[in-house]
Amino acid sequence: MSDFFDHGQSSGKALLDVLNGNTPWRRPIWLMRQAGRYLPEYRELRAAAGSFLDLCYSPDMASEVTLQPLRRFDLDAAILFADILLLPQALGCDLTFKENEGPKLSPVRCMDDVSRLCVEGAVGKLQPIYDTVAKVSAQLPGHVGFIGFCGAPWTVATYMIEGGTSSDRMNARLAAYAGDVWFDDLIELLVQTSIDYLCAQIDAGVEAVQIFDTWAIDLPDHLRSKYCFEPIDRIARGVKRHSQKVPVIGFARGIGAAHLQLVQQCRIDAVGIEWSVPLAWAANELQAENVVQGNLDPLCLVAGGDALEHAVRQITETLRYERHIMNLGHGIRPDTPPDNVARLVNIVRQADGARL
Ligand code: CP3
C-alpha cells in the first residue's frame, strides 16, 4: 500500500484526489463497463464498426465510445474503451468475439504453445489503443480522470488456457495446482507485457490504471497469493517505477475477506469490492488504511426505484467519503436502463449535498 498521507495539492479531479489521499471536492463515481451495450449510441457505433474488435482498434470510434457515457452522465472518470484480451491477441493468440458467445481464443496448454507466443514487439502492436488514449485525453473535461487498464495475469491466463469463457476455468486451475513450468512461464510473460502495456497507456495519457482479476475467486489462499496477488503486486510496482504518481486500483472479484490480504500484499492505491462484501466490514477493515471502490450490485442498477435508492444510501452512509470511489461491484449489465444510471449519479450527488 502506498503512503496514504502523501497529501499534495488538490488536482480538481475527484478520482485522483481520493486515490492520492487528498479530500475530493465531491465523492467520485464511475462505473465498470460504463461504455457498452446498454447505451443506444454505443450499439449504433458498434454496428457501424462491424465487430467489437474493429471498434476497439479504431481510435476514432473507440475514443468516441469512451466519451459517450460522459456526455450523458456527470461522471468523474473515463475508462479506456478496449478489452483485456487484446494483449493475448497481440501475443499471437487468435481472438474472435462471436455474437452472444463471448470471446474465443486459440488455447495455450503446454510449453510449445507458450514458446509460440511472440513477446517481442507485442505491446507495440497495440498502438491503436494508445492512439485512442491520446484522442480521449485531448477531449476530457478538466475535472474528469482517465483510467487505463489491463487484465491480471491469472484472469488473462484463464481465457488463454480455456480458449475463451468457461464455467469453471478447470484447465487453468489444474495447471495452477500442478505448478506446471509452462504455466509459471505464461504468468511471468503476462506480468512483463502487462507492465509494458500499462506504461504505454500512461505515456499516451491515462492518469490511473485498474488491474482486473475477475477470476481471483477461483484459487485457494496459497495459490491466490502466488498467482493473483504476486503478479498484481509486480505489475503495480512496475507501473510505479515508470510513473511514481500514477495510482493503481486492484479489482480481484469474489475474494471476500481476502481483500485484506490483497491490500497488504500489493502496492495498490485502491481496492475494488464486489457487492457480497459487507459494508461495515469494508468500512472498518479496508477503509482504515485504504481507498475502497464499489460495490453496488449491477442488478440493483437494473432494478432501479426504491431498491436502488436504498442500496446507494447504504453505501454512501457507511463508506467514508474521503476514501471511497462509488462504482458497481462488477460491470454494468446490457439490460440496464440508462435513466437508472442518471438516477444513481443524482443519488450520490444528493448524498454529497447532505454531507456539506
Ligand atoms: O469498462 C469499460 O467500459 C471499459 C471497457 C472494457 C471492456 N471489457 C469492454 C467490453 C473493460 C475494462 C473490459 C474488461 C474485461 N473484458 C474483463 C474484466 C472485467 C469483467 O467484466 O470481468 C473481462 C473478463 C473481459 C473479457 C470479455 N470481453 C468478455 C468475457 C466479453 C464477452 C461478454 C460480454 O459482456 O459480451 C467481452 C466483450 C466486451 N468487452 C464488451 C465490451 C463493451 C461487449 C462487446 C460487444 O459490444 O458485443
pLDDT in tens for each of the 356 residues of the chain? 444 444 456 889 999 999 999 999 999 999 999 999 999 999 999 999 999 999 999 999 999 999 999 999 999 999 999 999 999 999 999 999 988 889 999 999 999 999 999 999 999 999 999 999 999 999 999 999 999 999 999 999 999 999 999 999 999 999 999 999 999 999 999 999 999 999 999 999 999 999 999 999 999 999 999 999 999 999 999 999 999 999 999 999 999 999 999 999 999 999 999 999 999 999 999 999 999 999 999 999 999 999 999 999 999 999 999 999 999 999 999 999 999 999 999 999 999 987 76
Asked if residue 5 belongs to a domain, the reply is no
Reported pTM:
0.96
Q: 59-72 and 127-139 helices cross at what angle (nearest 10)?
A: 40
Q: Where are the alpha helices (DSSP H) in the chain?
A: 14-19, 40-49, 52-56, 59-72, 86-90, 111-116, 127-139, 153-162, 170-178, 181-204, 221-224, 230-242, 259-265, 279-281, 298-303, 305-318, 338-355
Beta partners for residue 79, in sequence order: 147
Per the structure, the complete domain to which residue 208 belongs is given by: 14-355
Asked if residue 8 belongs to a domain, the reply is no
CATH code of the domain in which 216 resides: 3.20.20.210
For ligand 1, atom 2: residue with the closest CA: 33
Asked if residue 313 belongs to a domain, the reply is yes
* Domain tally, the chain: 1
Asked if residue 9 belongs to a domain, the reply is no
Asked if residue 1 belongs to a domain, the reply is no
Using the structure block, give the residue that is written with the C-alpha cell 450523458. Answer: 72
Residue 24 Cα to ligand 1 midpoint, Å, equals 29
Asked if residue 29 belongs to a domain, the reply is yes
46 is catalytic: yes
Asked if residue 230 belongs to a domain, the reply is yes
Asked if residue 339 belongs to a domain, the reply is yes
Residue 317 Cα to ligand 1 midpoint, Å, equals 30
